[in-house]
Chain A
Amino acid sequence: MTSPGTRIVAATSTVVIPEYLNEAASSIITKSQELLDAIKRIPGGKIIIDYIRASYQNDPYRSLFEFILVAFAIRYFLKSKSSYSKKDYIKLTEKEIDELVADWQPAPLTVPLRDDEKWQLDSIPITKGQISSHTEIIDNRDNGKLKSVINLASLNFLDLGINKEMIEAGIEQINYSGVGACGPPNFYGTQDVHFRLEEDLARFFGAEKSILYAQDFCTAQSIIPCFLKRGDIAIVDGGVSLQLQKAVMISRCEVFWYDHNDLESLEKTLKFVNEDFRGEPLTRRFIITEGLFENYGDSPDLKALVDLKKKYKYRLIIEESRSLGVLGATGRGLAEVYNIPRSDIDITVGSMALAFASSGGFCIGETPMINYQKLQSNAYVYSAALPPYCAKVCSKALSLIENATSENGNSNKIIGRLHLKIKKFYKLLSSDKKLNECVTIVSEPESPTIHLRISKSIREKLELPASYGGIGSNMEKFVEKGLEENYFDEEYNLENYLLQIIIDKILKSNILITRSKRILHHELLPLIPELIINVNAGITEDEIVRCHQVISKEIIDTLTNINLKTFDNLI
């Protein structure tokens, strides 16, 4: 039951509250009217008012959406910049910076030379005059006396460096155009002789087109990053030279190594990669190997290699620096040995500094591939062009070799002369039983560079490791931390010193051979020091017999007498 009093209160209250609200509402309306008038007075204000009025259109929800959107936009515009890229930076106060600067000690530019590696500097032969099959060297250990030696250390295999026509061509070109190209190839650096050489190289090797580089060591390092990028795949032989190792490293691609010159291992790797990357985005895939391995002196079976690359749909890059001008009856390289058209090799990289006795590197292959390099290859775009006289001399070398080819095209006088010497030298060395007990010949009979390793039994006797450096070794851990300067492998140094002792002994009989001079912390792959004999076309057969006798005698003398104790105390 409700009393009448409460009803009255309720009635009065329903009357009073609307009146109060009305007042408030009317004051809000007048206030907002004033506000609107004020906004209208601002330039452009009328448009905004009209816009809002027009957009309202009795649809408050839509207007709410728009209002929220505008509010969001204003909030976004008012936010100050926030850094994503520098979010892991450490912020240092002024004081901390000053302290760090005060504490800083400049590191020495080089680590001091150790006593036990000084011999390396002393052992560098200084030559006088032209480098050819017979060279004069200044003997450091004999008061700088001049000494005429048979040079088995030079890579000038065909001995074209002392050819009169070559020298004349070089002088003529220097008289005509000076010594430098004065600019990158795309920027005033290209002259007529460069075009001629490009045509000559393409014709000589049976390729569509060629491109010249000023420095042979940088050629592969410029070409490979030009075609292989992050995410691409390179299947690389596990015995490639330093320049290819660095080239695949700086290209940022995925690198898979297969056992050196082992095509079964290659096929296993190809299968593995194709399986493992199934469903991944399609990338460029290359097999990278050498024509004549700089570190081993052997060659891959090109025919099987081409079959594999076709079967698994890869492209093939072959670094033929050592094999062009040397392998094949007319010096056309590994492709000629296996009778494979040059077009089956997608990219061939070569050097003009070895057999062709000039300087610089080149690449041969299909026209679009070459043209792409003209815009994308760093060494071609940014560094100075090959000196014109080098181009001229190389053209001359090619024409000399071409002119020496017999009419039926099966043999070549210049190349044949080298092959004969290689065959003879290799036969003498390989048939020397006593020598083969001391050293192992790693290289193949066709290789002009003969690699001799201390035999396994002697290395085991001297407690030397199976190989130095490489993936998983101590050296790699130092390199990863950037401490490679602190790493010094005493055994590696000692083994090299042992080889140098042999070289020095041989040098006493006026024969200069060399050894593999590889810096351990630069190499990614395992290696073993070797004695190296570079057979030269300019050596006579009698000299070869004498060289063999001396080399064999000194190696046997040194290695049969050595034992662990004397070896450890060599230095």
Chain B
Amino acid sequence: MSVFPGSQSQQQQQAHIPSAEKLSISPTTSKENRRRRSSSIISHVEPETIEIKNDQEVLPNLNANWVHFKGAWLVHIVIIALLRIFYNLFPVFTKEISWTLTNVTYVIGSYIMFHQVKGTPFEFNSGAYDNLTMWEQIDNGDQYTPVKKFLMGVPIALFLISTHYSNYDIQLFILNFTLCLVAVIPKLPISHRVRITIPFISEPQMIK
């Protein structure tokens, strides 16, 4: 009794089918399909499967889409101005130091927000974005988009301003320049989906 033309080996197949009570099929998920962490120092997040891509497209990614609003662009400038005013309130900080501190705060803050935290705070896509940083979620990973150009420009401009107002003190310059690199390098297309694990310091990164 053939089931369907082309399924000649049905009798052989059925030898492997377990009975209804005894499945003997667990565990069904193999380790290859599962989420895993990288064991190497530098690794890449693996491309999504078709199922994950589907889930990503079910709803717009509210976690990343707000960066397109004009207000979200303006708020970077406002935050920098507020930071500058805040550090100015302390008489102990000279002009040089307070500009450098502004730069430090902005760069570290934006690093945590764009490159450190992964996933989305709200659950709309069944965890389809869990392995991606916010920078990687913006514009679905497209590069050189207007918002990415703007966000790249802000730390560079801030660096130029802060090094200018710190009167080119060599130590402050080195600090500011390092911070600028911290802000710029993760934003480069070459760093897209790259994960770096520092042995004994940071946990292995999820790459799948």
Contact = CB atoms under 8 A, between A and B. Distances in A.
A260 B20 contact: yes
A470 B25 CA distance: 10
B1 A252 contact: no
Contacts of A467: 17-20
Contacts of A44: none
B67 interface: no
Contact of A85 (B27, B140, B149, B173): B140
B164 A55 contact: yes
A261 to B, nearest CB: 8
Contact of B130 (A57, A76, A231): A231
A473 B10 CA distance: 9
Nearest to B57: A85
A20 interface: no
A489 B127 CA distance: 37
B22 interface: yes
Interface stretch (A211-219, A265-273, A388-396): A265-273
B46 interface: no
Contacts of B52: 230
Nearest to B206: A281
Nearest to B19: A466
A269 B35 CA distance: 18
Contact of A473 (B13, B127, B180): B13
Nearest to B122: A376
A256 interface: yes
Interface stretch (B79-87, B93-101, B153-161): B153-161
B126 interface: yes
A203 interface: no
B70 interface: no
Nearest to B47: A88
Given A471-B28, A478-B4, A465 B14 contact: yes
Contacts of B144: 76, 79-82
A427 B24 CA distance: 33
A265 B26 contact: yes
B22 A272 contact: no
A224 to B, nearest CB: 12
B200 to A, nearest CB: 15
B32 interface: no
A267 to B, nearest CB: 12
Contact of B24 (A79, A259, A527): A259
A69 B180 contact: yes
Interface in B166-201: 168, 170, 173, 177, 180, 189, 192
B3 interface: yes
B142 A85 contact: yes
Nearest to A231: B35
A84 B200 CA distance: 33
A260 B26 contact: no
8 contacts: A230-B52, A231-B127, A252-B55, A272-B27, A466-B19, A472-B17, A490-B3, A491-B1
Interface of A: 51, 54-55, 57, 59, 62, 65-66, 69-70, 73, 76-77, 79-85, 225, 229-231, 238-239, 251-252, 254-260, 262, 265, 269, 272-273, 276, 279-281, 376, 465-467, 470-474, 478, 486-491, 525-528, 568
Given A55-B163, A466-B18, A470-B17, 11 more contacts: A65-B177, A76-B144, A84-B141, A225-B126, A256-B27, A257-B28, A259-B21, A466-B19, A491-B3, A526-B19, A527-B20
